[in-house]
């Protein structure tokens, strides 16, 4: 099987020749892996590890209004975002691994729906779709993922999160307007991307963190009320273009999984080591309808465990979740600077 065939077989719940694998890393992990393999590019590392998936970035395809960027005296970077807020990027480990935090939410003072509608929302015309097409076409035999943050995540950047939560309970018109405007842009933008990609994109990925380490932010009913209709629009869009839909949500979101399935989600990422997300239960209850992505613990096992422990846990996840397909092996979140290279190699050596 090619990587594209392998990933698609897993998502379609057909047994692949081996479990497909994916990887995300912070910068210094990429550097360590390149040094280990004696290569100079991330794509070379992906080939060495036989990674089946490639993620296409569209940052360089932005051609819209100028976005200001400045480097502060302390090394932090402050930059405009085309959504209207600002990013602050600061290094979190030995001067590397820039962490981006959104601030100065442009809708914090909005008092009415009209105020929300009057905001300068991003325009799909601000992107060079031919550049995106060329990036997607670089990986014909690989499975290609494309996407970004989702409706809820964008909403929490546009308006203070605490205020947004309170309004969802007591004054829902403003949050609904924000979420609707976010999905309005996403639907047109992703439709144009998927059209020019012409089948090259296998997975449309949207990232929305709906949970904490203990539970979901919302009851299933509240989640359904605010997000189900718009999420269904996005999954339908992906499926019309022959792509699968992946949703990323950190947190203990077991109570929301039936809602995600009902909205047409194909792949759930990640599987954190949290109550309700045990692989046996997930496979038993949802294994015929969902493919699971991730699962190898980045909070405790990968940074602090031995290579033998990593291999054992990886073997367990593959044995449980890869029956009749339905699993893509990866860590729960991008590999951090505290993960020894030996543990990274142990995880990917235990794929069969």
**pLDDT above 80 for 96:** no
Mean pLDDT score of the chain: 95
Q: Distance between CA atoms of 231 and 216, rounded to whole angstroms?
A: 17
CATH number, domain 3-63+107-349? 3.20.20.210
**pLDDT above 90 for 351:** no
Q: Distance between CA atoms of 270 and 331, rounded to whole angstroms?
A: 8
| DSSP reduced 3-state for 110 | coil
Token couple for 194: 């998927």
As a three-state string, the secondary structure of 225-272 is HHHHHHHHHHHHHHHHCCCEEEEECCCCCHHHHHHHHHCCCCEEECCC
pLDDT in tens, 16-63: 999 999 999 988 899 999 999 999 999 999 999 999 999 998 988 999
DSSP category for residue 224: I
Weakest-pLDDT range from 93-102, 103-112, 116-125, 248-257 = 93-102
**pLDDT above 70 for 242:** yes
Q: What is the domain partition of the chain in residue ranges?
A: 3-63+107-349
pLDDT band at 97 (very low <50, low <70, confident <90, very high): low
């Amino acid at each position: 099987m090619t990587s594209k065939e392998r990933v698609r077989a897993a998502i379609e719940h057909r047994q692949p020749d081996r479990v497909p694998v994916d990887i995300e890393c912070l910068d210094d992990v990429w550097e360590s892996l390149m040094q280990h393999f004696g290569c100079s590019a991330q794509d070379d590392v992906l080939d060495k590890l036989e990674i089946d998936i490639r993620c296409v970035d569209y940052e360089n395809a932005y051609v819209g209004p100028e976005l200001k960027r400045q480097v502060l005296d302390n090394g932090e970077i402050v930059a405009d975002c085309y959504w209207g807020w600002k990013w602050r990027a600061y290094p979190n480990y030995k001067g590397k691994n820039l962490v981006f935090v959104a601030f100065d939410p442009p809708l914090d003072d909005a008092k009415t729906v009209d105020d929300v509608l009057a905001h300068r929302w991003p325009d799909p015309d601000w992107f060079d779709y031919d550049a995106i097409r060329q990036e997607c076409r670089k990986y014909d035999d690989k499975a290609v993922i494309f996407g970004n943050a989702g409706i809820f995540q964008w909403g929490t950047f546009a308006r203070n999160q605490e205020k947004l939560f309170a309004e969802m309970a007591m004054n829902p018109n403003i949050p609904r307007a924000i979420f609707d405007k976010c999905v309005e842009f996403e639907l047109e933008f992703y439709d144009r991307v998927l059209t020019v990609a012409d089948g090259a994109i296998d997975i449309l990925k949207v990232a929305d963190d709906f949970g904490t380490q203990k539970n979901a932010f919302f009851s299933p009913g509240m989640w359904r009320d605010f997000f189900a209709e718009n999420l269904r629009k996005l999954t339908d869009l992906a499926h019309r273009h022959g792509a699968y839909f992946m949703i990323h949500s950190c947190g203990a979101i077991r109570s929301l999984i039936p809602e995600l399935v009902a909205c047409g989600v194909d792949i759930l990422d990640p599987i954190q080591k949290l109550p309700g997300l045990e692989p046996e239960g997930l496979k038993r209850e949802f294994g015929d309808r969902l493919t699971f992505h991730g699962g190898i613990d980045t909070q405790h096992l990968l940074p602090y465990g031995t290579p033998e422990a990593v291999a054992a846990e990886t073997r367990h996840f593959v044995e449980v979740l890869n029956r009749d397909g339905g699993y893509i092996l990866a860590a729960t979140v991008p590999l951090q600077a505290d993960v020894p290279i030996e543990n990274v190699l142990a995880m990917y050596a235990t794929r069969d």
